[in-house]
Structure formats: C-alpha cells, structure tokens
C-alpha cells in the first residue's frame, strides 16, 4: 500500500480570495480530495472564513490549521514553518506564488505554483511599492523552492526570462476548472434558465474581472461597430471596480445600454448555463497566466474569441479564433467572422470540447501525485 503523504498547503486564498487564485486553490484541493485518497490534505491559513464556497474545506478530508496569533501576516511568511514541522508535513505546496521563509532550511521539500508574471508584463497595473514587494517575494520563492510549477508554458517562459530560473526546475501542470463546468448543461434546462431570468436567447458572453488587462473597454468599442443585424446582446459577468465605471460610461456614450447587460451578483452555480447558452465567449485579454473562463466555455461546447498572446492559445487550442487583442479592428474582425457563421462556431466548439479534455481533473491530479511522490523520494 502506498504510504499516505502529509501534504501542507498555503490556504490563504482558499478562504480569502473568490476570484482567480482562490478558484485555483479550491478547485485543486477538491479534486485532490476526490481522486487521491493517499494524500493527507493539511490546510494552513491565517484566517478562518466560513462561506458557502469555503464550507467544504472546514470538514473531512481536510485538516485545517489556523494560527493562534495576532501576527497573521508574519506567521504566513515565516512562523508557519514551526507548524509544518510539528505536523510532520512531508511536502509543502505554496498555491499562490509564495512559500514561507526558512522552509528551505528544513527537510520539508517545497513546491510553489506560479500563475503569471503580470508584475513584469504589465507593471503599470501595480503601484511602485507593491511591484517591488511582489517581485521580491515571487523571485525569492522561486529561488528557494525545491520545485516550481507553472500553470502554462507561457508562464514558464516568463520565469526563465525574468527570474533566470533553470528550465529543468520548472514543471508545467495546467490548472483545471470546477467540476460543475465539466458536465454539459442540458439544452432544455439552459433555455428554461434563460427564460426564467429574462435573458436573451442569443447573446455574446464576457466573464472576468473588471480590470484594464482584461480589455473589456476594447471589446465594447469593437462591439459597438458590429453591423446591426448581427449585434446580439453582450452579457457581462464581472465585479465592481473603477474600471467597470469607465466601461459603463463608454456604454452610455455609445448608446448601448440596451445591448450590454451587466449581471450583478450572479450565482457561481448558474455559470454553466450561461456558458452553454452563449453564442460565443469573448475573452480579449491582453495577458493571462492561463485563462480559466476559456476552458469553462469549451467544456460547455461554446466557441471562444480570444487573444493570440501569452497563455491564451494554450488554453483555447483549436476551440477559438485568435485575434490581436490590442487592435480594436482585429477584435471586430473576429466577432464578425464568428457571428456571421454558425457553422464555424459549431466547428470550433466541437474541436475545443475534444481538446479541453486534457484539462480534466483526474489527469491533473495524477500529475500532482507524481510530483509530490517524486519530491519525497529525492
């Protein structure tokens, strides 16, 4: 019988982040709990937060460890090491760019997940202080970790380029999405959902944060130039931000308020219906470490329009039309091409659905199990 490995995880994002890094952490942990019973899953987090999306992690098979200290930040960055040793952790996994200082001086091998290097690709997104802090933390973690896992080949290339990391120290293990997206939504139930919520039968879909890098402004500008006969509504799922305010101001200026529909407080559990019912997912991001909405869309057999940059071609494979996301006219070209041809959308959706199976949970979990075992056996 395979010895049960006691794996420790940095679970801050599990409890305190409900977008990209939090979704990655929760999805991976839930998948490991289902597919790898030979792992003891130990979550180390500075703060316990009970919400619908964190409830599962407060019960078996997860073992939670919260510090009894008011210095929670320093505990996560350094003090946690004592707890890892006390709990006899075999392998430590920093799920979001960081591992604690001093772990490299113990006999606990460590792996750090690196999602992106936006601090290098788009430094203007951060103020000077944050940029310096993040860069120092990320680079230090990469240097000290036993192994680095990049979530895409694009991120691996960035790590080699900007941090001078040896290629052999970096392994690529793609991320996957929540299981709810992997069961194809019933078409009848999808239509019922749209009707019940007074949503259009045909629409374009945008899912993502309301930040400049995601390029929602560029999408709206291109959308405004579509011929009227193919300008179906654009549904937008995003959070609140100053950038969203700019987008809404542009929509008012372009007189598109009746065409661009923001879905505020949209339930996560209903997203599969929204993907399934869409004619097209529009994801013209300027840079991504991976691009999770793309695979969520492809699992629901919906074609994608996305950028030809960073990791986006890796996530979309043959399921997308790739455009230069910096060029408004190229976004317009891609939108027009796809909206004018249902056959093209169907072809991309089917090719994408076959391609996206490489991101299934069991495949990903097998790769992590092999990595953890290899670190212990070094």
**N- to C-terminal Cα separation, the chain:** 20
Q: Write out the residue range of the structural domain in which residue 148 sits.
A: 5-176+360-376
Are both 266 and 213 inside the same structural domain?
yes
Strand ranges for 18-169 from DSSP E: 39-44, 62-65, 91-94, 110-114, 147-150
Residue 233 has pLDDT above 90, yes or no: yes
- Give the pLDDT band of residue 378 (cuts 50, 70, 90): low
Are both 188 and 295 inside the same structural domain?
yes
Are both 153 and 209 inside the same structural domain?
no
| C-alpha distance from residue 358 to each of 128, 162, 349, 354 (Å) | 39, 28, 15, 8
Using one digit for the tens of pLDDT, what is the confidence trace for 357-376?
999 999 999 999 999 999 99
Are both 166 and 191 inside the same structural domain?
no
Are both 148 and 243 inside the same structural domain?
no
- Give the pLDDT band of residue 377 (cuts 50, 70, 90): confident
Are both 329 and 251 inside the same structural domain?
yes
Residue 215 has pLDDT above 80, yes or no: yes
Are both 107 and 239 inside the same structural domain?
no
For the chain, what percent of residues have pLDDT higher than 70?
99
Are both 184 and 320 inside the same structural domain?
yes
Are both 187 and 282 inside the same structural domain?
yes
Chain-wide mean pLDDT for the chain?
95
Residue 52 has pLDDT above 90, yes or no: no
**Which pLDDT score, from 0 to 100, does residue 1 have?**
45
- As a whole number of angstroms, the distance between CA 5 and CA 39 comes to 5
Strands ordered across the beta sheet of 147-150: 62-65, 39-44, 5-10, 91-94, 110-114, 147-150, 170-172
Tokens of 325: 């996301």
Q: What is the average per-residue pLDDT within 186-202?
A: 96
Q: What domain count does the chain have? A: 2
**Which pLDDT score, from 0 to 100, does residue 3 have?**
74
Residue 265 has pLDDT above 90, yes or no: no
| C-alpha distance from residue 371 to each of 28, 159, 176, 178, 365 (Å) | 14, 19, 17, 22, 10
Q: What is the average per-residue pLDDT within 68-75?
A: 89
Q: Sign of the CA dihedral 332, 337, 342, 343?
A: negative
- Three-class secondary structure of residue 283 per DSSP: strand
Q: What is the average per-residue pLDDT within 56-83?
A: 93
- Give the pLDDT band of residue 56 (cuts 50, 70, 90): very high
Please tell me the least confidently modeled range out of 147-151, 215-219, 265-269, 343-347.
265-269
Residue 353 has pLDDT above 90, yes or no: yes
Are both 55 and 38 inside the same structural domain?
yes
**Which pLDDT score, from 0 to 100, does residue 2 have?**
59
Enumerate the β-bridge partners of residue 235.
205, 261
- Domain with residue 87: its CATH number is 3.40.50.2000
- As a whole number of angstroms, the distance between CA 66 and CA 15 comes to 11
Give the orientation angle of helix 20-35 with respect to helix 292-299, to 10 degrees. Answer: 50
Are both 227 and 364 inside the same structural domain?
no
Q: Is 62:32 a contact under the CB 8 Å cutoff?
A: no
- Global confidence as pTM: 0.90
Tokens of 273: 């219906």
Are both 79 and 42 inside the same structural domain?
yes
Q: What is the average per-residue pLDDT within 205-229?
A: 96
Nearest to 54 by CA among 107, 5, 11: 11
Residue 268 has pLDDT above 70, yes or no: yes
């Amino acid at each position: 019988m395979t010895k049960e490995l006691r794996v420790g995880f940095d679970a801050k994002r599990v409890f305190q982040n409900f977008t990209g890094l939090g979704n990655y952490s929760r999805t991976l942990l839930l998948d490991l709990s289902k597919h790898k019973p030979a792992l003891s899953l130990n979550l180390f987090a500075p703060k316990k937060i009970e919400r619908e999306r964190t409830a599962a992690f407060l019960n078996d098979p997860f073992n939670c460890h919260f510090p009894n200290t008011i210095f929670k930040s320093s505990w996560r960055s350094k003090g946690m090491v004592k707890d890892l040793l006390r709990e006899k952790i075999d392998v430590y996994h920093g799920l979001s760019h960081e591992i604690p200082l001093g772990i490299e001086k113990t006999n606990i091998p460590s792996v750090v997940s690196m999602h992106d290097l936006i601090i290098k690709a788009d430094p203007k997104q951060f103020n000077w202080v944050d940029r310096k802090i993040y860069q120092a933390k990320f680079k230090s973690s990469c240097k000290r970790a036993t192994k680095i896992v990049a979530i895409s080949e694009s991120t691996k290339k960035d790590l080699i380029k900007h941090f001078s990391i040896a290629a052999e120290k970096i392994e690529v293990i793609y991320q996957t999405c929540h299981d709810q997206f992997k069961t194809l939504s019933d078409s009848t139930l999808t239509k019922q959902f749209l009707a019940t919520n007074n949503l259009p039968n045909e629409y374009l879909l945008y899912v993502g944060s309301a930040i400049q890098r995601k390029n929602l402004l560029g999408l709206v500008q291109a959308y405004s130039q579509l011929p009227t006969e193919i300008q179906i509504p654009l549904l937008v799922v995003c959070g609140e931000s100053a950038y969203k305010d700019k987008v809404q101001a542009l929509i008012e200026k372009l007189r598109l308020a009746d065409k661009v529909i923001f879905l505020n407080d949209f339930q996560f559990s209903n997203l599969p219906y929204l993907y399934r019912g869409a004619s097209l997912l529009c994801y013209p991001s300027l840079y991504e470490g991976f691009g999770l909405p793309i695979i969520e869309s492809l699992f629901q057999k919906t074609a994608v329009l996305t950028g030809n940059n960073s990791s986006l071609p890796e996530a979309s494979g043959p399921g997308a039309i790739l455009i230069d996301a910096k060029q408004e006219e190229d976004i317009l070209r891609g939108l027009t091409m796809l909206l004018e041809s249902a056959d093209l959308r169907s072809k991309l959706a089917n090719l994408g659905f076959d391609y996206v199976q490489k991101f299934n949970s069991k495949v990903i979990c097998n790769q992590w199990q092999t990595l953890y075992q290899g670190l212990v056996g070094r």
